Amino acid sequence: MRTISRDGEHELDIKKSRFLCAMARVGSEDGARAFIAQRRKAHWSANHNCSAYILGDDGGIQRSSDDGEPSGTAGVPMLEVLRHRGVTDAVAVVTRYFGGVKLGAGGLIRAYGGAVSATLDTLGLLERRTLLVVAVMADYLQAGRLESELRSSPYTVRSVEYGADVRIDVALSEEELDGFRAWLAEATAGQAVCEVEGSTVVEVPPEPRTE
């Protein structure tokens, strides 16, 4: 799944109507509802404040509202864009100020969906990945050099703790685990040991698509 990189808004003008899409990262339905209420209060004079949100690691919570637009022409296409882009833990509110020209059902669907899509492009997305947390234990003689080499490697150093030995927590994918163990054995002549301690979720820019 993905989420937006930051909160923000983007505006489209379509046949004299203003479509102002605001998006925010949220972690609960209460947070999503509060954001929707905030936007409605800020734009109380608008004709419509339509909304959609998806929550959960698997995107299991999905809600939308047409807020007075013809059924299925606003909230649903907004929600569909979020689904199609794999976005979760985010809420979108599209505020419409009517410009006097009716768009028809198809035009509304394109306008509301397009407003969310353009806003996602503007704000950017981050991909959520679940990585293993591997604890590396080394003695003080090796720790400084090992930490330096780890920080210049493809692996992610999460923390360093100094006790009787030095513990360095490293985040890596499950597919990288065997390679990391081999790398560590070579880098420390087999003196350092490592153990999988759990997992963590990180947010990184999505990899570019290749044709």
Q: On the CB side of 11, how many CA atoms lie within 13 Å of its CA?
A: 8
Which of the following CATH numbers is that of domain 127-204: 1.20.140.10, 3.40.50.300, 3.10.310.30, 3.30.70.240? Answer: 3.30.70.240
Q: Which residue has the higher pLDDT, 5 or 211?
A: 5
- Contacts for 8 with CB less than 8 Å, ≥ 6 apart: 22, 23, 119, 122, 123
pLDDT at position 211: 41
Q: Which residue has the tokens 């990288």?
A: 176
99-127 residue pLDDT tens:
888 899 999 999 999 999 999 999 999 98
- With cut-offs at 50, 70 and 90, classify the pLDDT of residue 210: very low
Through-space distance between the first and last CA atoms of the chain, rounded to whole angstroms: 21
Burial letters for 6-20: b for 16+ Cβ neighbours within 10 Å, e otherwise? eeebbebebeebbbb
Query: What is the pLDDT at residue 143?
Result: 86
How do residues 136-183 score in pLDDT, each as one tens digit?
999 888 888 999 999 988 888 999 999 888 999 999 989 999 999 999
pLDDT digits (tens, 9 = 90+) for 60-80: 999 999 999 999 999 999 999
In the chain, what are the domain boundaries? 2-123, 127-204
What is the rounded CA–CA span in Å between residue 20 and residue 119? 9
Dihedral (Cα; 106, 112, 118, 123), 10-degree rounding: -160
Residue 121: enclosing H or E segment and its boundaries? helix 104-123
Is the confidence at residue 209, as pLDDT, over 80?
Answer: no
CATH class of 2-123: alpha beta
- Reference 83, options 67, 57, 62, 105; nearest CA is 62
Among residues 140, 138, 148, 153, the alpha carbon closest in space to that of 188 is found at: 138
Token pair for 161? 């703790």
R_g over Cα of the chain: 23
Helix axes 104-123, 75-84, angle to 10 degrees: 40
- Give the Cα separation of 36 and 7 in Å (integer): 13
Q: SS3 for 40?
A: helix
Answer yes or no: are the C-beta atoms of 47 and 100 closer than 8 Å.
no
Proportion of the chain above pLDDT 90, given as a percent: 73
